[in-house]
A and B are shown apart, each in its own frame.
Chain A
Amino acid sequence: MTAAPEHPTFLGMPPFPAAARVALADTQLRRNLAHATGTIRAKRAGVVAEVDDWEELRQRAAGIKDDTLAHLDEHLLTLEAALTAAGATVHWARDAADACAVVAEVAKSHGIDQVVKVKSMATQEIELNEALAAQGISAWETDLAELIVQLGEDLPSHILVPAIHRNRSEIRDIFRDKMAAAGRAAPEGLTNDPAALAGAARLHLREKFLATKMAVSGANFAVAESGTLVVVESEGNGRMCLTLPDVLVTVVGIEKLLPTWADLEVFLRLLPRSSTGERMNPYTSTWSGVTPGDGPQEVHVVLLDNGRTRALADEVGRQALRCIRCSACLNVCPVYERVGGHAYGSVYPGPIGAILNPLLKGVGTDKQTDSLPYASTLCGACADVCPVAIDIPGILVHLRTQVVDAHRDDSVPKAEAVAMRAAAWGLSDAARMGLGERAAGLVGRFGRGRGMPGGRTALGWLPWPGTRWTSARDLPLPPAESFRAWWKRAGRHEEQR
């Protein structure tokens, strides 16, 4: 057996501002991201504009998800019963360790040391590949972009296109240098032509599909009434994994439930247009348990919590569980476009990652997670494109409040907390504020500096933490007379014209 390459993990990533600083200086990353997000953004906008009832559709989707989440306990039992009746084995996993143990156990019961994988966020979230490797089982990614990430011993940086930070020349180099050690080598003289790269991946993966006895997948949706799992994909690798092996294990987050088959219609219209900017995705696979003589003859389903019930308990944040992992919010986010996915330190980057990670893990314990709700300007572009209408900016502010509240009893308050309390004191009373303005006005009256366009004087340098502003931006000196002072002196007496 060939061992799968060692994957780095997101463990121990620095808080967002520090990680972003590194990413911002990566010229190739900046260029790749600006190009890729710009392209997919335009495609999405085009196909969404074709749908007259888009707003109604997304409100409908939000409603279905909210109703399902409100009665999740009942729907989960319905799903379990339907799956069991169809010949599947259902497992309940409280956390990542539980879920990984189930998958490893199934493999070991068959003496299997190699599995193929359909692209799945849930299995990345629980770091299944690493857990299987520790048990001597190699997990091979079969989605093209996941393959690039895996062979490159890299981390995913986008939900839908995990190798978005790579361009085709980098991919050619990864294939040329790494494919041979993982199985079938890249063809001689491989160029960076997209068709040639896809061809190399196809040959490499075909060997894996035909030789592997077990597959692991996630699911985009799980229909409770019929016990149907649904995978939506573009490359056909999912279909290969779901039909060729003898054993199939599917790890599903418990928020993926839809009560009825009819509910799927709404989501299958929303998802492709929001994610790849296509009217319809090329492959939609659905299966319910075991079909004798056709496809996998042993089917397992792992229902994963791993923080989802924690998120569900948060009255404001729970709407994040509507998420269908389309990544439209990443593609439209001006912060994500500049720093990329790795800076968020999670398989869930971008605006949805900035709310989902703190909701799943809880705040107040680690600085990296606590930095995520602040990784946004609250510009609101994400909420506008979200196909399930998640109020991401609202949840970001809500989580910021949780972060601050978690530190209210610290024996040594943060400088920021002290500054905010002082500002609140100064700004909650007009007399105190006016006094502050008069002091600033003195600085303004006697301050010297370069003239800014328009005639005000530039303050080009401030001591820390002001340097964070002035290192790249001028600031006008405070005016000699505030509006308040002008109003008292002259404004209120001026003639109405």
Chain B
Amino acid sequence: MGDVRVAVMSTCIGDAMFPDAVRATVRLLRRLGVSVEVPEAQTCCGQPMVNTGYLDEAVPLVRNFVSAFEGFDHVVVPSGSCAGSVRHQHSLVAARSGDAGLADAVSRTAPRTLELSEFLVDVLDVVDVGASFPHRVTYHPTCHSLRMLRVGDRPVRLLSAVAGIDLVPLPGAEECCGFGGTFAVKNSETSVAMGSDKAAQVRSTGAEVLVAGDSSCLMHVGGLLSRQRAGIRTMHLAEVLASTADSPAEVARS
């Protein structure tokens, strides 16, 4: 990658709740020859505030984001939702702040922010990342990856190239799982009704692992599957792609 500077955005949920997914992202990128930087000043993209209507409250978070990631050629995010928020919502927050300097900074950082599968396929031009994962897997394409970022079949192409994987299609895959950020608590009953249907589709595949590119959606569906004692675990796309024959991901226990 020469002098190209690549940063990983851990995302607040990845940092605080699902560090394995972010560690796997770092491991995977290093294995592919990318010299990864992790700006320690980073925190959260501000999406929870923006999507609940608290635009003023998101301003300091967006300010923090641009100052942490200014100057990088690519910001890689193991989340379609957070990448989507940076690309499509940071400009709204900047406009609200009335700070032309912030709007200017956002116009530089936002387009350089990529979801993991976009970075792998479009920038690194790789589909077979040399992974090995001999398990039965089904993949849920999260809404913001699908309809906000339009990542299309990139994640499935990446997964299909993994050695030993038994990738089963998920029925009704493109339908929302019902997480929806604060929707999950503000409208918890509807959220759970949607998630239960998604969990039923996941169970119908006979998969051992449900994979997605967003830890938040996985926390929701995985929480339901765990409560149901379904015996199916969730893993982030990065964890599957980081797993190799020499250093396999532990699936049954980790």
Contacts and interface: CB of A to CB of B under 8 A. Distances in A.
The answer to whether A binds B is yes
Interface of A: 16-17, 20-21, 24, 334-335, 338-339, 373-381, 383-384, 397, 399-405, 416-417, 420-421, 423-424, 427-430, 433, 436-437, 440, 452-455, 458, 460, 465, 468-469, 471-476, 478-479, 481-484, 486-488, 491-492, 494, 496-497
A424 B186 contact: no
Contacts of B222: 452, 474
A400 B41 contact: no
Nearest to B88: A394
Contacts of B185: 465, 468-469
B136 to A, nearest CB: 14
Interface residues of B, number: 85
Nearest to A382: B147
Nearest to A384: B147
Contacts of A17: 186-190
Interface class of chain A by DSSP = helix
A24 B23 contact: no
B180 interface: yes
Nearest to B190: A20
Contacts of B146: 380
Interface in B156-193: 174-176, 178-193
B219 interface: yes
Interface of B: 10, 12, 14-20, 22-23, 26, 30-31, 35, 38, 40-44, 46, 48-55, 57-58, 60-61, 63-64, 68, 89, 92, 143-144, 146-148, 174-176, 178-196, 219-220, 222-227, 230-235, 250-254
A415 to B, nearest CB: 12
A74 B184 CA distance: 46
16 contacts: A375-B187, A377-B179, A377-B180, A377-B191, A379-B176, A380-B144, A400-B53, A420-B49, A424-B54, A427-B12, A430-B68, A455-B252, A455-B254, A474-B227, A479-B19, A486-B23
A483 B15 contact: yes
Contacts of B184: 468-469
A473 B195 contact: yes
A472 B19 CA distance: 24
A152 to B, nearest CB: 25
Nearest to A492: B38
A20 B189 contact: yes
Contacts of A474: 222-223, 226-227
Contact of A472 (B51, B192, B253): B192
Given A474-B226, A475-B219, A491-B23, A427 B50 contact: no
Contacts of B26: 491
What are the 5 tightest A-B residue pairs by CB atom distance, in nearest-first order?
A377-B180, A473-B223, A400-B53, A379-B176, A380-B147
Contact of B147 (A338, A381, A429): A381
A373 B191 CA distance: 15
B224 A491 contact: no
Contacts of B252: 454-455
A93 B178 CA distance: 41
Contacts of B15: 433, 437, 482-484
A118 to B, nearest CB: 34
Given A335-B194, A452-B226, A492-B38, A423 B189 contact: no
B57 A421 contact: yes
B75 to A, nearest CB: 15
B143 A380 contact: yes
A361 B175 CA distance: 31
B49 A334 contact: no
A420 B51 contact: no
Contacts of B30: 494, 496-497
B147 A473 contact: no
Contacts of A481: 19
